[in-house]
Amino acid sequence: MMTEGWAMWITGLPSSGKSTIANGVARRLKEMGVNVETLESDELRKILTPKPTYSEEERDWFYNVIVYIAKLLVRNGVNVIIDATGNKRAYRDNARRRISKFVEVYVKCSLNVCMKRDVKGLYKGALEGSIGTLPGIQTIYEEPLKPEVIVETDKLTVNESVELVLNKLKELRYIDSTV
C-alpha cells in the first residue's frame, strides 16, 4: 500500500537563501534514501510563464498551479519541496488546506542582507525601475504567521539551517528519526 507523501514550502524574500536550503535539504534527504522532488519556481516559470509579467493575476494562477502539482505528487507518495517566494500568505495557506502533511519553512533574512546577496540583480533592477513587482520592494511579502520552522540565514550556516529543517521533519515523523 502506497503512503501519502508530504510537502514543504520554503518561503522568504528573494535572495534570502531559499534555494540553497531547498537544495541542501533535498540532497540530505536523498542521501537518507528519502524520495523527494523539488518544485523550484524559477524553473517552473520557464515552462508555465516563459514571458512572465509577475502581475497579481499571474502570480495567483502560478501559485495555484504549484499547489496543484504538489498535491498530485503528495497524493501519489512523493515528498515535495516547494522552493518559491510565495509572497502572499494566501498562497501558502492554500497549500496547507489542500495538503494534509504540510510544513512551512520561513527563510528569514533582512532585506539588506538579501540585497547584498542578490546574484540575479533583482533588487538592482527593482530600484532602477526595470523590475516593477519585486516582493520586499514594490510588492509586499507577507511573513508567515505560524511557520513550523524559521531559519535565519543571516545568523545560521547552511548546514545548521538544513539540520533545523531535517530535525522538524523527524519531529513530525515525516522522515525516520534514526537516520
Domain boundaries, the chain: 7-166
Query: What is the pLDDT, as a whole number, of residue 2?
Result: 66
Query: What is the pLDDT, as a whole number, of residue 67?
Result: 98
Residue 159 sits at φ, ψ, to 5 deg, of -60, -40
Give me the mean pLDDT over the 40-47 stretch.
94
DSSP string, 70-137: HHHHHHTT-EEEEE----SHHHHHHHHHH-SSEEEEEEE--HHHHHHH-SS-HHHHHHHTS----BTT
Q: Round the average pLDDT of the chain to a whole number and report it.
A: 95
Residue 71 has pLDDT above 80, yes or no: yes
Query: What is the pLDDT, as a whole number, of residue 178?
Result: 73
Query: What is the pLDDT, as a whole number, of residue 88?
Result: 97
Residue 53 has pLDDT above 90, yes or no: no
For 7-166, the fitting CATH number among 3.90.1150.10, 3.40.50.300, 3.40.50.720, 3.40.710.10 is 3.40.50.300
Distances (CA, A) of 106 to 34, 85, 97, 144, 172: 22, 10, 18, 7, 17
